[in-house]
Amino acid sequence: MYFTSIISFVIILFIQHTYEQDQDSVPNSYEIREHSINRPYPGVFSTGSSHWHLVGNTLVTDRYIRLTSDSQSKAGGLWNMIPVAYPDWEMHVNFKVHGTGKELFGDGFVIWYARDPKLSGPVFGYQDYFHGLAIIMDTYSNHNGPHNHAHPYISAMVNNGSLHYDHDRDGTHTIVNGCEAPFRGRETDTLVAIRYQNDRLTISTDIEGKNVWKECFSASDVHLPSHYYFGFTSATGDLSDNHDIISVHTYQLETSEQRRNEDRKNIIPNAPGAEAERAHTEDPSGSGWSALKIFFLILFLVIVCLGVGIGAYYYMNKRQYHRARFY
Ligand SMILES: *[C@@H]1O[C@H](CO)[C@@H](O)[C@H](O)[C@H]1NC(C)=O
Ligand SMILES: [Ca+2]
């Protein structure tokens, strides 16, 4: 029957969709060990041959890599020293932002894909006018007056070295896109996933302890070169927090033949949001259809169609019955 086959098809789609979102499986990919770090951190930081490099106040324990501790005027960084030779990748970062502050805490941290590793500066501990991609995990609203979003807020910025990150406006004028994500002070693990594939940047979070990814936003036409470096930085000022990196898993994703053969080393970082200064950002909430919503919509349509069909059938029968009486 049509009805049952449609329903089972929809259910299969739904299950597949949910399955694909499972955070442990990145389809058609494999993990790059050189770009990943996990507990126990195997003494990598004490040896000269390490491909991870610490900057500033960053300290390593057996449980976390702490970019800044919960005290004022700290700055730290964790940088990978092997350039990313493959064009398409996905990174899962297990992190923890926490501290004693109830109302006042900050400022957050940044996940970088940048041309120049190990630098220091005013943008969450890294230099301004940078080259590359910043995923900004901003816990404190510096903006004087209300934003159209709450903090903590995750946003992306792409820079070719010409743009200034405006702390006082939380970077809203140079944003590619962003979403609210209450990741601070959680009891459960908090994770963020950054996928860059076919010039599409997708950020997802898993911060509710449910072991499922939830999309933060997705942006197309994001152009990034290969051979940049992954890094993590954070800084505290008057406000402070612990900014911890627990683990990093980086996966190389499938790349088309054409893309593999391109010379991607000299691409100038570019994304729609970097084109022009924008007055304010769109509210990303409510965008995107979840699998559940689509499932119920299709179910609803099927029920409506069925209802109309049954109604029409009875109506026709009744008419025939009437006609039968007249003759
Ligand atoms: C760098 O970015 C700015 C702002 O988006 C843009 O105006 C400029 O043309 C870009 N420069 C290059 C060399 O692409
Ligand atoms: Ca801020």
Q: In this predicted model, what pLDDT tens digit does every residue of 71-87 receive, in sequence order? A: 999 999 999 999 999 99
Q: What is the pLDDT of residue 289?
A: 54
Percent over 90 (pLDDT), the chain: 69
pLDDT confidence tier of residue 322, bands split at 50, 70 and 90: low
Q: What's the Cα-to-Cα distance from 277 to each of 148, 172, 282, rounded to whole Å?
A: 17, 9, 13
Euclidean distance between CA atoms 259 and 252, whole angstroms: 14
Ion ligand 2 neighbours (CB, 5 A) are 138, 140, 142, 170
Q: Ligand 1: distance of its center to the CA of 283 in Å?
A: 26
Average pLDDT, the chain: 86
Q: What is the pLDDT of residue 327?
A: 41
Question: Which H or E run includes 251?
Answer: strand 242-253
Angle (nearest 5°) at CA 176 between 275 and 89: 115
For ligand 1, is residue 278 a contact (CB within 6 Å)?
A: no
Task: Give yes or no for residue 153 having a pLDDT over 50.
Answer: yes
Q: What is the pLDDT of residue 291?
A: 62
Burial call 12-50: b when 16+ CB within 10 Å, e when fewer: eebeeeeeebeeeebeebeebeebbbeeebeeebeeeee
Task: Give yes or no for residue 309 having a pLDDT over 80.
Answer: no
For ligand 1, is residue 162 a contact (CB within 6 Å)?
A: yes
Of 141 and 279, which is predicted with more confidence?
A: 141
Closest residue by CA, ligand 1 atom 14: 268
For ligand 1, is residue 160 a contact (CB within 6 Å)?
A: yes
Euclidean distance between CA atoms 9 and 208, whole angstroms: 30
Q: What is the pLDDT of residue 21?
A: 43
pTM of the model as a whole: 0.78
Atom of ligand 1 nearest to the CA of 274: 5
Euclidean distance between CA atoms 323 and 149, whole angstroms: 64
Closest residue by CA, ligand 1 atom 10: 160
Q: Where are the domains of the chain?
A: 27-284, 289-326
pLDDT confidence tier of residue 103, bands split at 50, 70 and 90: very high
Mean pLDDT of 128-154: 92
Q: Which ligand is nearest to the CA of 167?
A: 2
Non-local (6+) Cβ contacts of 87 within 8 A are 226, 255, 259, 260, 262, 264
For ligand 1, is residue 275 a contact (CB within 6 Å)?
A: yes
Q: What's the Cα-to-Cα distance from 60 to each of 41, 55, 203, 220, 278, rounded to whole Å?
A: 8, 11, 27, 36, 40
Q: What is the CATH number of domain 27-284?
A: 2.60.120.200
